[in-house]
Each structure stands twice: as C-alpha cells, then as structure tokens.
C-alpha cells in the first residue's frame, strides 16, 4: 500500500471511530437515511442561515465508510451555500463512482480520501448515504431516504 493510501485509510478510520459533529441539532431541518444492504442508518440535521449552511450534524450507526463520509461531509459543508453543497455532492458522487472529474469541479478537500471507493461498488452506497439524506434535509420534506 502506498503512503497516500495509508493516509487515506487512517483518515477514514479516524472519522469512523471518532466522528465529528455527531449529535442532534435543535431547530434544524432533518432527514433519515437507510442503506438496507449494509444496515447503515443516518439522520442528518441542517440549519440554514438564508442560503448558507450555518450548522450541520448527524447521528446514526453504520460501517466506517458511512460514518466517516457523514463526519467529513459535515466538516466540509459548514459555511457553504446550498448551491455549493449540491456541487460538492455531484463531484463526490462522481469520485466514488469512478467518473472523471469535470474541469470546473469544486475542490473536495478531505473528501478525496474516498477515491478508492470506486474500486468497491458495493461501498458506494455506504459513502453516499449521508449525502442523499442531506439532500432530503435541505428540501425539508423529512422523507426517509433509502439507497435501494
């Protein structure tokens, strides 16, 4: 394994073991997501200030990839606009499904650690569950999201 792969694996394990922003968020829009294949469950809370993500958190239980993805997502999206969050979702989804990055894609930062997920298609749903759930929370419809 290369040094970069080791670093990526360590970052995923760290966020999986000690997730950031792992708590309920009062007075926030929320949505629940479920990955029946793996058993991952997540609830994403998002508090907006106009069009900007003022605060974001999550709760749930899942595999290391699912938990780490939600943790890093919450760190990345604070202070971003709704449009920036959507762009990041698309870029992240392209990354984990192995699609080439568009020239004007936003910088993923720590989310780049999930680049290897494309080699394990069964794990794509684990990595994207919190993102699909975020979309539902942003829409404020409170629907339960499923990866199936």
Convert the pLDDT of each residue in 2-33 to its tens digit: 665 776 788 889 999 999 999 999 999 999 99
Q: What is the assigned CATH class of domain 3-139?
A: alpha beta
Q: Residue 131: is its pLDDT beyond 90?
A: yes
Read off the pLDDT of each residue in 140-146 and give the average, rounded to a whole number. Answer: 81
CA atoms within 13 Å, Cβ hemisphere of 23: 6
Q: Where are the alpha helices (DSSP H) in the chain?
A: 3-17, 64-77, 82-97, 124-139
Closest by Cα among 3, 2, 13 to 114? 13
Read off the pLDDT of each residue in 63-83 and give the average, rounded to a whole number. Answer: 96
Q: Residue 126: is its pLDDT beyond 70?
A: yes
Per-residue CA distances from 13 to 8, 66, 140 (Å): 9, 11, 31
pLDDT of residue 147: 83
Q: What is the pLDDT of residues 77-122, one digit of tens each?
A: 999 999 999 999 999 999 999 998 777 778 888 999 999 899 988 8
Confidence of residue 142 (pLDDT cuts 50, 70, 90): confident
Give the three-state DSSP class for 32. strand
Residue 142 zone, left/alpha/beta (φ > 0; ψ -120 to 50; rest): left
Task: Pick the more confident residue, 139 or 55.
Answer: 55
Domain residue ranges of the chain, discontinuous segments joined by +: 3-139
pLDDT of residue 2: 67
Give the three-state DSSP class for 24. coil
Rounded distance between C-alpha atoms, residue 84 and residue 41, angstroms: 25
The residue length of the chain stands at 148
């Amino acid at each position: 394994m290369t040094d970069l792969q080791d670093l990526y694996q360590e970052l995923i394990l760290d966020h999986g073991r000690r997730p950031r922003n792992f708590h309920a968020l009062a007075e926030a829009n929320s949505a629940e997501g479920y990955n029946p294949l793996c058993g991952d469950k997540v609830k994403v809370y998002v508090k907006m200030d106009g069009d900007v993500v003022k605060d974001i958190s999550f709760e749930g239980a899942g595999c290391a990839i699912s938990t780490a993805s939600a943790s890093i997502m919450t760190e990345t999206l604070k202070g971003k606009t709704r449009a920036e969050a959507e762009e990041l979702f698309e870029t992240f989804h392209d990354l984990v499904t192995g699609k080439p990055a568009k020239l004007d894609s936003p910088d993923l930062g720590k989310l780049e650690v999930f680049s290897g997920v494309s080699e394990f298609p069964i794990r794509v749903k684990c990595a994207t569950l919190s993102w699909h759930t975020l979309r539902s929370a942003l829409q404020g419809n409170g629907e339960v999201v499923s990866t199936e």
